[in-house]
Amino acid sequence: MSKMVIQDERAIAWIVPNAPQATKKNLDRYLVTVDEIERLTGEKIPVADYAKHDKPAASWMIPRGCNKG
């Protein structure tokens, strides 16, 4: 499963296996670039080219009040 978040001029993406060890605690292990998602899916993601190649060192913090964490 892939997941992306695009916010302003930034993007973050993960490819997460459907496995018991794929937990929120281990999420950083599955970070990839948006470019990798595009190559795997063949889809064009509407984000600036420079953001497609950035891979953060860690997942972003969950914003206060977000119930999706």
Q: Which of 56, 19, 16, 13 is nearest to 36 (CA)?
A: 13
Kindly report the pTM of this predicted structure: 0.81
Rounded distance between C-alpha atoms, residue 34 and residue 69, angstroms? 21
Tokens of 59: 């997942």
pLDDT number for residue 64? 72
Summarised one tens digit per residue, pLDDT across range 11-68 is 999 999 999 998 888 999 999 999 999 999 999 999 999 999 999 999 988 767 766 5
Domain ranges across the chain? 2-52
Q: Say if CB 35 and CB 51 are below 8 A apart.
A: no
